[in-house]
């Protein structure tokens, strides 16, 4: 019979994972060729949450674009705002006040901790450590409380404006934020106590999903994935922006570049971020929190009832928005997932002619095939978690 010649041990079965599956961290579909439990080939299929945000931005005046871009990578919204606002500030050559730089740095680093906490909770959940999720989300909630206190929103805060931030931090924020930044390293120590000597966690992560540093660079991978492979590349150190040149912080790097190193690098980054927040609070300069250029920045609310000129500026900025001379700028920052770049093309009108985001998840996802092929299905899920893609950012 023909069946007798079929080699059952070498049979390849194609399995579809996702797009709606908790372990895919969003709406990601994986077409996986399996030989028994082993992954032999893998093809990620993306685009399920593509909403055309970049196209929609072309129809909005510059200041109305900010809430749109926040919704791309919905876990690191402050970074999207900074990338876009920073690009526009470079286009119009607008210097932001010192206090605004420090405030932005504080919120970016809080957001980095927040993003890593979401990653740690959900990835540990994938590996069977369910209690990590509750511990991580407990601290995440404290960060969201801080965001709510300063901006009025827990997520998608629209706090950064072209020229600075929309409002100064309220009374009591500093003390609350400092208390959090003092507490965070202790909490990180607790997470490490739970995971670092956990036999299941160690055997599931050590030596799994290794991709060499050279290959990662070829694939354009940045962020904690690249640093876990031993390359200390961090845009906060490499390029000057915001208050980072004045901050004293380390870049954690790994040695082998397996999933365990990826975990250790991110956990160490949380401690460094908490230290940056503390340093920013210590050195927080007094002064204005937004630039005083009425051509681009809304006048203070209090002036509207007394100054005709302010009212005109306010009216013009809200109805038409400000115009930007033709030009193009690419501005990139270090997001929790790597290099987040924003390209803005201005054509002289009040709306951008093109807004493009170089999303780190989109580029990093290309390394997933090499991380997962040749490992077990269960390790593929672990590697995906350690890659930490946010599909809202991938699909935009």
Partner 1 sequence: MPDAPGLELIRGEIERDFPGAVPATSYDRAQAALNVDPARVLDVLRWLKEQPGHRYDFLSSLHAADYLPNEPRFAVHYELINRDRVERIRVKAMLADPGNEELPEIDSCVELFPTADAQEREVFDFFGIVFRGHPNLTRILMPDDYVGWPQRRDFPVGGEPVTFTYSEERYG
Region binding partner 1 by CB under 8 A among candidate stretches 21-29, 62-70, 261-269, 351-359 = 351-359
Query: What is the footprint of partner 1 within residues 100-119 (CB under 8 A)?
Result: none
How many CB atoms are closer than 10 A to CB 227? 26
- For the CA atoms of 246, 252, 253, 257, the dihedral, rounded to the nearest 10 degrees, stands at -130
Residue 372 DSSP SS3? helix
Backbone phi and psi for residue 155, each to the nearest 5 degrees, phi listed first? -130, 160
Quote the least distance from Cβ 246 to partner 1, whole Å. 18
CA distance 332 to 101: 16
Binding residue (CB under 8 A) for partner 1 from 179, 238, 283, 312: 238
3-state secondary structure (DSSP) of residue 108: helix
When binding is defined by CB under 8 A, the residue of 33, 41, 58, 168 that contacts partner 1 is 58
Cis upstream peptide for 93 (omega within 30°):
no
Of the pair 20, 43, the CB lying nearest partner 1 is at 43
Distance from the Cα of residue 286 to its chain's centroid: 28
Reduced to 3 DSSP states, what percent helix, strand and coil does the chain have, rounded to the nearest 5? 55, 15, 35
Residue 154 or 358 having the CB closest to partner 1: 358
Q: Is 276 helix (H, G, I), strand (E, B) or coil?
A: helix
Nearer to partner 1, 24 or 122 (CB): 24
Residue 74 is a binding residue for partner 1 (CB under 8 A): no
- Fill in the per-residue mask, 302 to 341: x = in contact with partner 1 (CB under 8 A), - = not in contact: -------------------------xxxx-x------x-x
Q: Considering beta carbons, is residue 45 or 283 the nearer one to partner 1?
A: 45
Binding segment (CB under 8 A) for partner 1, from list 49-57, 64-72, 162-170, 176-184: 49-57
> Rule CB under 8 A: which of 260-299 touch partner 1?
none
Assigned token pair, 382: 């672990």
Per CB under 8 A, contacts with partner 1 among 2-41 are none
Stretch of 87-95, 136-144, 176-184, 312-320 contacting partner 1, by CB under 8 A = 87-95
Identify which of residues 56 and 198 has a Cβ nearer to partner 1 in the complex: 56
DSSP string, 46-68: --TT---HHHHHTTS-HHHHHHH
The closest alpha carbon to 339, from 347, 348, 330, belongs to 330
Shortest Å, Cβ 82 to partner 1: 17
Beta-strand (E) ranges in 150-246? 160-161, 164-165
The binding site for partner 1 (CB under 8 A) comprises 46-47, 50, 52, 54-56, 58-59, 90-91, 93, 217-222, 233, 238-239, 327-330, 332, 339, 341, 343, 345, 353-354, 356, 358, 362-363, 365-366, 395-396
């Amino acid at each position: 019979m023909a069946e007798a010649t079929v080699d059952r041990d070498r049979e390849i079965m194609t399995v579809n994972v996702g797009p709606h599956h908790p372990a895919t961290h969003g709406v990601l579909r994986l077409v996986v060729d399996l030989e028994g439990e082993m992954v032999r080939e893998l093809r990620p299929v993306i685009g399920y949450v593509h909403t055309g945000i970049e196209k929609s931005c072309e129809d909005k005046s510059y200041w109305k674009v900010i809430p749109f871009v926040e919704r791309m990578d919905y876990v690191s919204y402050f970074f999207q705002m900074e990338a876009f606002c920073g690009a526009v500030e470079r286009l119009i050559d607008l210097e932001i006040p010192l206090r605004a730089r420090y405030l932005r740095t504080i919120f970016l680093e809080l957001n980095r901790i927040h993003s890593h906490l979401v990653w740690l909770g959900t990835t540990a959940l994938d590996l069977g450590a369910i209690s990590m999720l509750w511990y991580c989300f407990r601290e995440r909630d404290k960060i969201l409380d801080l965001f709510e206190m300063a901006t009025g929103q827990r997520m998608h805060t629209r706090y950064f404006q072209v020229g600075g931030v929309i409002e100064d931090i309220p009374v009591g924020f500093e003390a609350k934020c400092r208390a959090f930044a003092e507490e965070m390293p202790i909490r990180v120590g607790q997470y490490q106590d739970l995971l670092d000597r956990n036999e299941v966690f160690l055997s599931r992560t050590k030596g799994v999903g290794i991709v060499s540093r050279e290959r990662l660079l070829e694939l354009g991978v940045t962020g904690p994935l690249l640093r876990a492979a031993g390359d200390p590349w961090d845009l906060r150190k490499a390029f000057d922006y915001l208050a980072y040149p004045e901050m004293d912080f380390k870049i954690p790097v790994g040695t082998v570049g397996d999933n365990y190193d990826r975990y250790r690098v991110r956990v160490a980054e949380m401690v460094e971020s908490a230290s940056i927040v503390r340093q920013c609070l210590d050195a927080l300069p007094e002064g204005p929190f937004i630039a005083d250029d009425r051509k681009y920045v809304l006048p203070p609310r209090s002036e509207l009832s007394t100054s005709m000129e302010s009212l005109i500026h306010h009216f013009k900025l809200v109805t038409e928005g400000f115009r930007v001379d033709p030009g193009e700028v690419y501005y990139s920052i270090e997001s929790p997932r790597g290099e987040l770049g924003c390209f803005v093309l201005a054509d002289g009108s009040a709306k951008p002619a093109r807004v493009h985001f170089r999303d780190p998840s989109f580029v990093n996802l290309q390394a997933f095939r090499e991380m997962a092929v040749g490992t077990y299905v269960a390790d593929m899920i672990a590697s995906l978690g350690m890659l930490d893609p946010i599909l809202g950012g991938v699909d935009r």
